[in-house]
Amino acid sequence: MAARKSSVFARIIVSTDDQEIAALSRSLGAEVPFRRPADLARDSTPGMKPIIHALNWLARNENGRCDYLMVLQPTSPLRTAADISAALELGVQRRADAVVSVSVMLDHPYWAKRITRDGRLHDFLHPRRRPPRRQDLPAVYRLNGAIYLARPDVLLRRRTFYTPRTYAYVMPPERSIDIDDDLDLSIADHLLRRRGRGHD
CATH of the domain at 150: 3.90.550.10
Q: Answer yes or no: are the C-beta atoms of 84 and 6 closer than 8 Å.
A: yes
Question: Does residue 98 belong to any structural domain of this protein?
Answer: yes
Domain span holding position 156: 2-104+141-196
Question: Does residue 131 belong to any structural domain of this protein?
Answer: no
* Total number of domains constituting the chain: 1
Q: Cβ–Cβ contacts within 10 Å for residue 44, how many?
A: 4
Residue 81 and residue 7: Cα distance in Å, rounded? Answer: 8
Q: Is 145 exposed, middle or buried (0-12, 13-18, 19+ CB in 10 A)?
A: buried
Contacts of 123 (CB under 8 A, 6+ apart): 112, 113, 114
Q: Which has the closest alpha carbon to 51: 75, 67, 72?
A: 72
Phi, psi of 122 (to 5 degrees): -135, 155
The pTM for the full model equals 0.89
Tens of pLDDT along 173-188?
999 999 999 998 999 9
Q: Answer yes or no: are the C-beta atoms of 84 and 71 closer than 8 Å.
A: no
Question: Does residue 114 belong to any structural domain of this protein?
Answer: no
Tens of pLDDT along 15-69?
999 999 999 999 999 999 999 998 998 888 888 999 999 999 999 998 878 899 9
